[in-house]
A and B are shown apart, each in its own frame.
Chain A
Amino acid sequence: MIRIGEIQESIRIAFEGLQANKLRSFLTTLGVVIGITFVILMGWFLNGLDTALESTVNLLGTDVMYIDKWSWSGGQNWRKTMQRKNITYQQAMEFCNSMKTAEVSLPEAHKWGTTVKERGRTITGISVIGVPYSYSQLPAGTILYGRFFSQFEDEYSTNVTVLGYGVAKALFPEGDAIGRTIKIGGRTFEIIGVIIKRGTMMMDFVDNQVIIPISTFFGIYGMTGRSISVAVKAGSAEKLDEVRAESTGLMRSIRNVPPGEEEDFSINETETFKEQVETLRLATWGIGIGLTLLSFIVGIIGIMNIMFVSVTERTKEIGIRKSLGAKSSSILTQFLVESASLCLVGALIAFTFCSVVIAVAVHLVPEADFLTPYVPPQLILIAAIVSIIVGILAGIVPAMRASALDPVEALRYES
């Protein structure tokens, strides 16, 4: 049985050894430092990715799907998608009027890359979205302050607008947007509300948009020459299959897709994002694990080597300890603790290094707000455990050699 006193003694010896050979210890742990750095950075990035995915899914709504000419996943043949006919406003309205299973369905018209002006200031790259008043029932239409436009304002093509969070922040940093006016497509609009912040780095465009009544939209930009998206809110995640089935059937019939032929539209769901994120996640894992394993192998070889040197250098010490009553298990523990401590110090260096890297990265790329500005605590624990395991793996053979030394031979050893 190993006693606590022996383990304390082993830790003390290990750190004395580290202090006595600072440069050697540092160089030895370099492999582990790199390995742990990969573990922490990979974990940090994946953690951020999960947060981003979660907020993206939440902002779109887990029970919301978009019927579009385009596919979000981009997996399909691009040329083929290009050749699809636009979804017209009439088709969209026919769909919405016939839809039975969904809670809400409504058309959305988009105008990308427009310019919005407020007194002297101009912001470019803004999307103008024309929607009916029922848009406020979608998660994407949640109001931060002010209100959404009414049915009356919608039907009478009023020049009112609800700003995306990003636009509101850029033009009215003090939060006094309501009641002010901005120019969209050369016309003056009264601001009546601001949408909550929804964007993440993956979807930051959703905050850079202005929402206007769809009738007003058509008055400015025209009804033809664009493809309308249909937003469908199932009402609950359980109803998704049913609503998807009805949507597919309904849209095929409206767009006269003959039986057996491929659809000429896409049903985009939050699931698509999950798939995309999963691909990114797998790629990160693949590269990360590969690099981590490689550096750990290098690290283990380095530590094993230095532990063999240490055992040889301290043969006499092992003999002395054995003559004083140290059992083989005590010597084994001592050297395992030493190599584990070496790795733990490596983990500490890696942790410090990663903290700096993460702080700088988050500072330099403020858009990456899905990434935490610190090392997630669970990663510190994982890194510590991994480093101890690596230390034990690297130390086990030298430690066994040390513990098996014959006391008489060891005492006789002169370095």
Chain B
Amino acid sequence: MSTPLIHIEHIARTYEMGGETVHALRDVSLDIHPNEYVALMGPSGSGKSTLMNILGCLDTPSSGVYTFKGLDVNEMTDDDLAEIRNKEIGFVFQTFNLLPRATALKNIELPLIYSGVSSEERKERAIKALEDVGLGDRMLHRPNELSGGQRQRVAAARALVTKPSIILADEPTGNLDTKTGIEIMKLFQDLWSKGNTVILVTHEEDIARHARRIIRIRDGKVESDTINPNPVTKFELP
């Protein structure tokens, strides 16, 4: 087996809320290897979003070990974490999180700006990423001029444009109708089959069934971590 991309060991995350300590995660350990397709499942409040934030280096654990590509995340400064997010992780959010005033192209260029890519190369790569998600003709549209599915595809293009090690998708179909949701899931399937590592956070069984491995979280702990014997590979409307 290859060296894990992500290795977490006994991590916990607690918050202070109104004088009370909330245990969002308690003693979670898992490894994720390159080119895995993982679904993090759990009901609302289970701690899956907290786990996603930690995996995505948006947050750090209160205790435990997290190594990303062998590097100790706990030892990293805020700037180091920003750099990991920029170069290694591509986020796709439920609410798309596109900048409303920027065009599709500018939105995709954004992570490249923070990694210091020259403006010509930025534009070139952003156009390519947009074309790859089938939106080559929507470059100068702003998010409010795009449909939900198109917005999520722009978000996916933005996540992919830096060629990250991991695509981290948080309820990516949550705001989409079934048909568009299927389109997006097909996109993730394609990404995975091209060698990307995809981590999907969802509470929907239908969505989770696309993944090859399903990790169920409940009350801040890993309830089960299983290989999906029958992943969905056909993308048809029910």
Residues on A lying within 8 angstroms of B by beta carbon are: 3, 5-6, 8-9, 16, 20, 316-317, 319-330, 407-408, 411
Within the assembled complex, what's the spacing in Å between the Cα atoms of A326 and B79? 9
Q: Which chain B positions have C-beta within 8 A of A9?
A: 110, 113
Q: Which chain B positions have C-beta within 8 A of A316?
A: 97
Q: Which chain B positions have C-beta within 8 A of A325?
A: 82-83, 85-87, 111, 114-115, 162
The residue on A at minimum CB distance from B84 is: A325
- Decide yes or no: A328 and B99 within 8 Å by CB, A3-B116, A5-B117, A323-B85 being known contacts: no
Range, interface on chain B: 20 to 34
Within 8 A of A (CB), among B87-121: 87, 91, 93, 97-99, 101, 110-111, 113-119
Q: Residue B71 at the A interface, CB < 8 A?
A: no
- Decide yes or no: A411 and B82 within 8 Å by CB, A5-B118, A320-B97, A324-B114 being known contacts: no
Q: Which chain B positions have C-beta within 8 A of A407?
A: 58-59
Q: Which chain A positions have C-beta within 8 A of B78?
A: 327-328
Within the assembled complex, what's the spacing in Å between the Cα atoms of A16 and B100? 12
Q: Which chain A positions have C-beta within 8 A of B158?
A: 324
Q: Which chain A positions have C-beta within 8 A of B91?
A: 323-324
Q: Separation in Å of the B3 CB from the closest CB of chain A? A: 24
Of the candidates B79, B110, B116, B119, which one forms a contact with A324 in the assembled complex, judged by CB atoms under 8 Å apart?
A: B110
- Decide yes or no: A324 and B86 within 8 Å by CB, A6-B113, A317-B99, A408-B53 being known contacts: yes
- How many pairs, one residue from A and one from B, have CB atoms within 8 Å of each other in the complex? 67
Whether the pair A323, B99 counts as a contact (CB closer than 8 A) is no
Q: Which chain B positions have C-beta within 8 A of A323?
A: 56, 58, 85, 91, 97
Within the assembled complex, what's the spacing in Å between the Cα atoms of A327 and B113? 11
The residue on B at minimum CB distance from A326 is: B114
Q: Separation in Å of the B143 CB from the closest CB of chain A? A: 12
Whether the pair B58, A330 counts as a contact (CB closer than 8 A) is no
The residue on B at minimum CB distance from A16 is: B101
Residues on B lying within 8 angstroms of A by beta carbon are: 53, 56, 58-59, 78-79, 82-83, 85-87, 91, 93, 97-99, 101, 110-111, 113-119, 122, 158, 162
Within the assembled complex, what's the spacing in Å between the Cα atoms of A326 and B113? 9
Q: Separation in Å of the A268 CB from the closest CB of chain B? A: 67
Whether the pair A327, B82 counts as a contact (CB closer than 8 A) is yes
Whether the pair A322, B82 counts as a contact (CB closer than 8 A) is yes
Among A317, A325, A411, the most chain B Cβ lie within 10 Å of the Cβ of A325
Question: A5-B118, A324-B158 provided; 12 other pairs, C-beta below 8 A?
Answer: A320-B99, A323-B85, A324-B85, A325-B83, A325-B85, A325-B86, A327-B78, A328-B79, A329-B79, A330-B114, A411-B58, A411-B97
Within the assembled complex, what's the spacing in Å between the Cα atoms of A9 and B97? 18
Within the assembled complex, what's the spacing in Å between the Cα atoms of A199 and B82? 68
Q: Which chain A positions have C-beta within 8 A of B79?
A: 327-329
Within the assembled complex, what's the spacing in Å between the Cα atoms of A11 and B78? 24
Q: Which chain A positions have C-beta within 8 A of B101?
A: 16, 20
Among B85, B98, B119, the most chain A Cβ lie within 10 Å of the Cβ of B85
Q: Separation in Å of the A12 CB from the closest CB of chain B? A: 8
The residue on B at minimum CB distance from A323 is: B91
Q: List 30 A-B contacts (CB under 8 A).
A: A3-B116, A5-B116, A5-B117, A6-B113, A9-B110, A9-B113, A16-B101, A20-B101, A320-B97, A321-B114, A322-B58, A322-B82, A323-B56, A323-B58, A324-B91, A324-B111, A324-B114, A324-B158, A325-B82, A325-B83, A325-B115, A326-B82, A326-B114, A327-B79, A327-B83, A327-B114, A407-B58, A407-B59, A408-B58, A408-B59
Within the assembled complex, what's the spacing in Å between the Cα atoms of A306 and B91? 31
Within the assembled complex, what's the spacing in Å between the Cα atoms of A233 and B58? 82
Within the assembled complex, what's the spacing in Å between the Cα atoms of A323 and B114? 11
Q: Separation in Å of the A314 CB from the closest CB of chain B? A: 9
Q: Separation in Å of the A233 CB from the closest CB of chain B? A: 68
Q: Which chain B positions have C-beta within 8 A of A317?
A: 99
Q: Separation in Å of the B229 CB from the closest CB of chain A? A: 34
Q: Which chain A positions have C-beta within 8 A of B113?
A: 3, 5-6, 9
Q: Which chain A positions have C-beta within 8 A of B111?
A: 324-325
The residue on B at minimum CB distance from A316 is: B97
Within the assembled complex, what's the spacing in Å between the Cα atoms of A378 and B197? 59
The residue on A at minimum CB distance from B109 is: A9
Within the assembled complex, what's the spacing in Å between the Cα atoms of A3 and B59? 25
Q: Separation in Å of the A10 CB from the closest CB of chain B? A: 10
Q: Which chain A positions have C-beta within 8 A of B93?
A: 411
Q: Which chain B positions have C-beta within 8 A of A328?
A: 78-79, 82
Within the assembled complex, what's the spacing in Å between the Cα atoms of A407 and B91? 13
Within the assembled complex, what's the spacing in Å between the Cα atoms of A89 and B56? 100
Within the assembled complex, what's the spacing in Å between the Cα atoms of A6 and B111? 10
Q: Separation in Å of the A143 CB from the closest CB of chain B? A: 66
Within the assembled complex, what's the spacing in Å between the Cα atoms of A16 and B162? 25
Q: Which chain B positions have C-beta within 8 A of A319?
A: 97
The residue on A at minimum CB distance from B85 is: A325
Q: Which chain B positions have C-beta within 8 A of A408?
A: 53, 58-59
Q: Separation in Å of the A307 CB from the closest CB of chain B? A: 17
Q: Which chain B positions have C-beta within 8 A of A321?
A: 110, 114
Within the assembled complex, what's the spacing in Å between the Cα atoms of A20 and B100? 12
Q: Which chain A positions have C-beta within 8 A of B83?
A: 325, 327
